[in-house]
Amino acid sequence: MTPHPVHAHSLPTLPATGTMRWLRLFSLLGLVLVTALPAAVVPGAEPKKWPASVERHKVVITREVTDDADRRLIAAAEGAQPPRAEVQKAAGETKLPASGPLWWYKEELGLRIPYALTGDALAYFTGLVRKYGKESFTRYSEPSSRVAYTAKVAAHASFTHGKETFANVRVVTLKLEFSQSFCATGTEGLAFTKERTVVFDAAGTILLIIGDGPTETPILAI
């Protein structure tokens, strides 16, 4: 079942046990909350000025490599571009750039949402988080953001996906987790996880890419 965006202002006032049930539900749906969001802004509350804070905006990038061959495979996996026609199909009527790398298919809260996890996508989100860490904000709650990225390579004597089976391949797995609260806007946050698996033959040719497509991006708001 596909979760719909959850808006905190639409939730009833919950006792502590009810709140925990909601947090468990978020966990089951695979949502990541950067911070616990209140049900609503307290009447009469005024936004507070928050100074720049690199501690509240974290970038963690890990590429697990053992040799130059691993580095080349990860670079190739990050550099593979999704077919433009497929990205446009996912975007529907949204107008996308006519040229250049196209790893995203829509925007939420003014932020690009990935169709494919590429090196350009990683650069975009790490740039966002680092920019947020240098900014001061006027918000009801302290803003925060985080991007965590991992890339690793594994050898497989046999790799099966659906009805396809490949022998003696190297498989690159990419994973990006992004979250932000009260950075893009004053009262909203979003979080998502995007993964990509790229299968290479012994010569380094891409045989299969798994994981490209629309990304579930729940939005929480106060």
Mean pLDDT within 23-47: 53
Looking at residue 162, what is its pLDDT? 96
C-alpha distances (whole Å) from 82 to each of 114, 130, 184, 209, 211 are 11, 26, 27, 9, 11
In this predicted model, which residue has the larger pLDDT, 19 or 214?
214
pLDDT tens across 163-202, in order? 999 999 999 999 999 999 999 999 999 999 999 999 999 9
Report d(CA 91, CA 188) in Å as an integer: 23
Distance of CA 71 to the CA centre of its chain: 22
Looking at residue 23, what is its pLDDT? 41
CA atoms within 13 A on the CB side of 74: 20
For residue 1, pLDDT beyond 80: no
Whether the Cβ atoms of residue 195 and residue 173 lie closer than 8 Å to each other = yes
Residue 176 burial by Cβ neighbours in a 10 Å radius (0-12, 13-18, 19+): buried
Axis-axis angle for helices 119-133, 68-79 (nearest 10) = 90
pTM of the predicted model over 0.75: yes
pLDDT band of residue 40 (cuts 50, 70, 90) is: low
Count of beta carbons in the 10 Å neighbourhood of residue 147? 22
Looking at residue 54, what is its pLDDT? 96
Report d(CA 140, CA 145) in Å as an integer: 16
Residue showing tokens 């996880």: 193
For residue 96, pLDDT beyond 70: yes
